[in-house]
Amino acid sequence: MTVITNIEDLRVLAKRRVPRMFYEYADSGSWTESTYHANESDLQNIKLRQRVAVNLEGRSTATQMVGIDVAMPVAIAPTGLAGMQHADGEILAARAAERFGVPFTLSTMSICSIEDVAAHTQKPFWFQLYVMRDRDFIERLIDRAKAANCSALVLTLDLQIIGQRHRDLKNGLSAPPRLTLANLVNMASRPRWCLGMARTPRRQFGNIVGHVKGIDDMGTLAQWTAQQFDPRLNWDDVQWIKQRWGGKLILKGIQDAEDAQLALDSGADAVIVSNHGGRQLDGAESSIRALPGIVDAVGSKMEVHMDGGIRSGQDVLKAVALGAKGTYIGRSFLYGLGAMGEQGVTRALEIIHNELDLTMAFCGRTQLAQVDRSILLPGTFAEVSAQG
């Protein structure tokens, strides 16, 4: 494949180059994967109003997310094991995002550590936090994010327990991969990936290994993470984390208007309408269906962002039209990363930006501030709004 024109091209290439367990970790959902697929299909079902004879000079997709200037209303979502899609994956994605002018969000469960990413970037990035039972570790993790000059903390609320992800279970997902015969055969067919991994020392969870007493290999790490995700997480913990952090706080995993109001009451700066990419509660409504109701509930008082199913700039524009002040791409950038490393992430951002700019123009708009629900065909919007 010589010409990459859309995110699907990157997905196809990534599937050929990334070992199966890591490719399917990115490209799968929980249970029947109905919510995972609905995130995409519900966005595709929304139709746009084409307008003509409008002066389209001077277009701009620039805006702000939580007070930070961005080249377009898109951030790179926090995704675990990005460094297993491609060697040093989080570093490469952070550099691509920095050059493009969009936020990069580092996951707690990243392969490259907070310090690794900070050492290879010039501008502040965002850090995503999972709440563990070990509160001393969480305090240290927040302090490390502060020391790295992270400019926002993204607190994930929908992973108190882990959804049943059938493909991960069947593949025996681990980082680094267990050297079973099936895994060795599969990795041998991905020599580019193997060469990259051979050249980097970063093959385990960099934010955890070496930072928690007694955690120095994959065996103990797997046991620790299974025990550490905290099912007791509640709104009091959110208040505690906000006070400890002291900076911009974004709450990820909001699907319900009542929870959005509680997030507002907690003092968060923004919420992300998210079903964890369809990887937690299968059968939950798609993010784009949930978005309008949450915007109506709290959107006049705090920023509402969205992730889930964003595969194009058209998807970004549809979310903005329904009130989102920002969107996040997870799989879209992972496909680029697995396909071509840093260059692939840059290409994914270029594709989405170009599609956003062109679609905004076809809808007769030159600035994102002009984009609202009026750019959507009334019938398709009514269907989404009713579900929201």
Residue 162: which pLDDT band, with cuts at 50, 70 and 90?
confident
List the alpha helices (DSSP H) in 108-256. Answer: 114-119, 135-147, 166-171, 181-188, 191-199, 218-228, 235-245
Q: State the pLDDT confidence band at 2, using cuts at 50, 70 and 90.
A: confident
Active-site residue, 276 included: yes
The tokens for 52 are 């003509």
Report whether 43 contacts 383 (CB < 8 A).
no
**Range with the lowest mean pLDDT among 83-97, 188-202, 372-386?**
372-386
266 phi and psi angles, rounded to 5 deg: -75, -10
Best CATH choice for the domain 7-387 from the list 3.30.960.10, 3.20.20.70, 3.40.50.2300, 1.20.58.220: 3.20.20.70
As beta bridge partners, residue 60 has 367
Distance CA 54, CA 361 (A): 9
**Domain extent listing, the chain:** 7-387
Query: Across-strand partners of 156?
Result: 252
**Cα dihedral angle (330, 332, 334, 336), rounded to 10 degrees?**
-150
d(CA 145, CA 248): 12
CB atoms within 10 A of CB 1: 10
Q: What is the dihedral of CA 214, 218, 219, 221, to 10 degrees?
A: 50
Structure tokens at 349: 């951002």
φ and ψ of 294, to 5 deg: -75, -40
SS3 percent helix, strand, coil of the chain, rounded to 5, is 50, 10, 40
Least confident of 88-97, 163-172, 299-308: 163-172
* Residue length of the chain: 388
Q: Rounded CA gap, 306 and 146, in Å?
A: 25
% of the chain with per-residue pLDDT over 90: 84
Reported confidence tier of residue 221, pLDDT bands at 50, 70, 90: low
The number of beta carbons lying within 10 Å of the beta carbon of residue 265 is 12
Instruction: Categorize the per-residue pLDDT at 299 as very low, low, confident or very high, splitting at 50, 70 and 90.
Output: very high
Task: Return d(Cα 168, Cα 174) in angstroms, integer.
Answer: 9
Q: Which of 37, 166, 211, 276 is catalytic?
A: 276
